[in-house]
Copies of this chain bind each other. A is one copy, B any other.
Amino acid sequence: MTTLYGYFRSSAAYRVRIALNLKGLAYDQAPVNLVKGEQRGDDFLDRNPQGLVPVLETDDGQRLTQSLAICEYLEERHPDPALLPADAAGRARVRALAQLVASEIHPLNNLRVLKYLVHELEVDDTAKRAWYHHWIHEGFAALEARLTREAGTGEFCHGDTPSLADICLVPQVFNAERFDCDLSAYPTIRRIVASCRALPAFQQAAPEAQPDTT
């Protein structure tokens, strides 16, 4: 059986849940409570020395890390339905939109970074919020500009079926909403996220619908 080590509010685990659901793959969940620090326990560090979720253990014994690498693996092993377009240029666009979220926005705003700001740099709550909002707005403004003007955009980030780009976007918007970011300047992002949220694969992957949801 395929097992996903994750956490209901982890954006990276959320991405993998969406990908698994879109592909119709069954999986068990093994929650790792990041707030309680379970990711730093020996059991979990043995699975992933970086102490980060998600980790996907596949039914043939692979132990996979890093959400985008896991999604690419799922795409190669279970190509239908596709998370990447058929043409190389389209694939490059989808991967670039996904990376924009996964490499430019998310890493700056995850739990370990916010903790460092508070505990090591001793920034107050106002400055922490400003930091969070700054990177959301910088990234979403760029993403909105691309989605609005590029012909590849359809009902979803690329065309009319969900792709790896949407898999990254929806958890990031969930995260931004949790931090009360005003997303009114991003109508295309909001329209696409609404399309995604209408799909069961996204609904069933949402943080509020997981076994470890609190």
Contact = CB atoms under 8 A, between A and B. Distances in A.
A154 interface: no
A204 interface: no
A29 B174 CA distance: 39
13 contacts: A50-B143, A50-B146, A64-B92, A66-B96, A70-B96, A72-B92, A76-B88, A103-B107, A108-B108, A108-B113, A120-B131, A121-B123, A121-B127
Interface residues of A, number: 48
Interface string A108-151: 10000100110011010001001100100001011101100000
Interface of A: 49-52, 62, 64-70, 72-73, 76-77, 88-89, 91-93, 95-96, 98-100, 102-104, 106-108, 113, 116-117, 120-121, 123, 127, 130-131, 134, 139, 141-143, 145-146
A130 B64 CA distance: 31
Contact of A91 (B73, B92, B121, B146): B73
A74 B147 CA distance: 23
